[in-house]
């Protein structure tokens, strides 16, 4: 008797916990139910995956979708459109909106805004401050919260906890792993005078490698003192990567495609304000150090740090220009190009974009392609070469720092809980995103 599924992915090369090889995948009720030779099976929908790799759904655990308060740059709908067009099935969105996501009401507001508008699954960070530390234990247990985010160095928005006492107070009150923007605000304040008007190559001088290293050393010391878990975002220096390799019991590590790909000072000379982000893009020494962290297994996740601004804002002379760049839509093709160039394996890509996020954040039912898990898939063509262009960008900002770069490896379909949301560059299901669940705050029946 042949099996019947809602969705059947046939003839592709599957990459999952078992390795990689030809297999079919059967989906029923939004879950994976069979993986193997399903040539005799039937389904309501069959996708021919010949020539494609079937990957677990890509999770981007750091995006800024700017809603509420800055919707002219991005909103939850447009940001999630960029995500699914780039093969991303779930995103974790940051709290530095206006107003900030620093209360249960504001977290609930974001979840309500996402309902029937976001195209991908989603969770939201609670922002940690020197004033709201007592309410963070409540927020981190709310359904749809992926954890607490703390800015130790000032970036876009008003969130900042620059002092050790404030960071320690937050760590002592929370239970889940907290994510940190790690730059030493005291050093940044001292060096702001080093900014050269109109010269973006001075950005990594102002926010130098030592500012990052000082902060990360402080953060690790406080995590050890309090016995808490930390996630250090967008590592940009070789020295931090080496340091964090000795603290793997408490610290997980994120890298971004930008820091792995775009080299200073040339990138500032080429695209000027579009290359400005915090922490800054750095020189070849640091890029090589980050790739060493990928090779040695120090890096747990790749996050895009999607943080769009308009081209008009980006055209302001440095240092009036804002920091941040789009990235959620380009995460998959840029990193697949690195796979094709031999800088990492496809299996390691899957570990960094699916399995790693599941481990670090304790995601329930996502991040793995296995029986009983959500049927989230990113279908990619590893032989498809294409130029990344501003016109391809679905973000409201309408640009990408990777414009003009031809990459090999491209997302062909985004499938979320068994529903095809993007296929061959077209949105096929709208507003169907749901909150991501976590093992540390599972919803009650």
Catalytic machinery residues:
305
Apex 32 CA angle, 28 and 34, nearest 5: 90
Task: Give the distance, in angstroms, between the CA of residue 5 and the centroid of all CA atoms in the same chain.
Answer: 31
Tokens at 113, concatenated? 């805004």
* β-strands 419-423, 426-427 pairing: antiparallel
Number of helices (H), then strands (E), belonging to the chain: the values are 15, 17
CA 186 vs CA 16, 160, 179: distances in Å: 44, 12, 20
Q: Is there a contact between 435 and 108 (Cβ–Cβ < 8 Å)? A: no
| Diameter over CA atoms, the chain | 75
CA atoms in the 13 A half-sphere facing the CB of 286: 27
d(CA 77, CA 74): 8
Q: Is there a contact between 98 and 157 (Cβ–Cβ < 8 Å)? A: yes
d(CA 80, CA 155): 22
Tokens at 338, concatenated? 């690195």
């Amino acid at each position: 008797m042949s099996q019947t599924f809602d969705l059947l992915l046939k003839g592709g090369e599957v990459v999952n916990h078992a390795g990689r090889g030809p297999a079919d995948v059967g989906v029923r009720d939004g879950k994976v139910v069979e993986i193997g030779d399903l040539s005799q099976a039937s389904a309501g929908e069959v996708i021919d995956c010949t020539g494609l790799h079937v990957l677990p759904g890509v999770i981007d655990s750091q995006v800024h979708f700017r809603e509420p308060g800055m919707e002219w740059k991005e909103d939850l709908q447009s940001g999630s459109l960029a995500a699914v067009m780039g093969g991303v099935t779930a995103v974790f969105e940051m709290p530095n909106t206006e107003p900030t996501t620093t209360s249960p009401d504001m977290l609930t507001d974001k979840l309500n805004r996402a309902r029937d508008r976001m195209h991908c699954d989603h969770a939201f960070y609670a922002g940690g401050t020197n004033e709201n530390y007592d309410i963070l234990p409540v927020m981190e247990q709310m359904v749809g919260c992926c954890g607490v985010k703390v800015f130790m160095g000032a970036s876009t928005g008003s969130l900042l906890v620059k002092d050790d006492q404030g960071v320690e107070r937050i760590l002592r009150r929370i239970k889940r792993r907290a994510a940190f923007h790690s730059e030493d605000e005291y050093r940044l304040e001292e060096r702001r005078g080093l900014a050269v008007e109109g010269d973006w190559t001075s950005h990594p001088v102002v926010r130098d490698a030592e500012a990052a290293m000082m902060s990360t050393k402080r953060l690790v010391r406080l995590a050890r003192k309090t016995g808490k878990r930390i996630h250090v975002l967008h590592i940009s220096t070789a020295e931090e990567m080496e340091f964090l390799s000795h603290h793997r019991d408490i610290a997980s590590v994120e890298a971004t495609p930008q820091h792995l790909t775009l080299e200073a000072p040339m990138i500032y000379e080429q695209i000027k304000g579009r290359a400005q982000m915090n922490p800054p893009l750095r020189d070849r020494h640091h890029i090589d150090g980050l790739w060493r962290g990928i090779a040695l297994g120090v890096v747990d996740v790749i996050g895009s740090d999607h943080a769009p601004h308009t081209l008009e804002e980006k055209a302001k002379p440095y240092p009036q220009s804002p920091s941040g760049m789009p990235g959620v839509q380009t995460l998959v093709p840029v990193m697949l190009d690195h796979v094709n160039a031999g800088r990492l394996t496809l299996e390691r890509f899957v570990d960094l974009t699916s399995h790693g996020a599941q481990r670090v954040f304790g995601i329930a039912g996502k991040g793995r392609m296995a029986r009983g898990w959500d049927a989230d898939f990113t279908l990619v063509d590893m032989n498809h070469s294409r130029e990344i262009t501003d016109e391809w960008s679905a973000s409201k900002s309408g640009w990408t720092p990777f414009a003009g770069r031809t990459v090999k490896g491209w997302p062909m379909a985004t499938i979320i809980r068994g529903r095809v949301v993007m296929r061959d560059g077209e949105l096929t299901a709208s507003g169907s995103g749901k909150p991501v669940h976590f093992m540390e705050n599972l919803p009650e029946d």
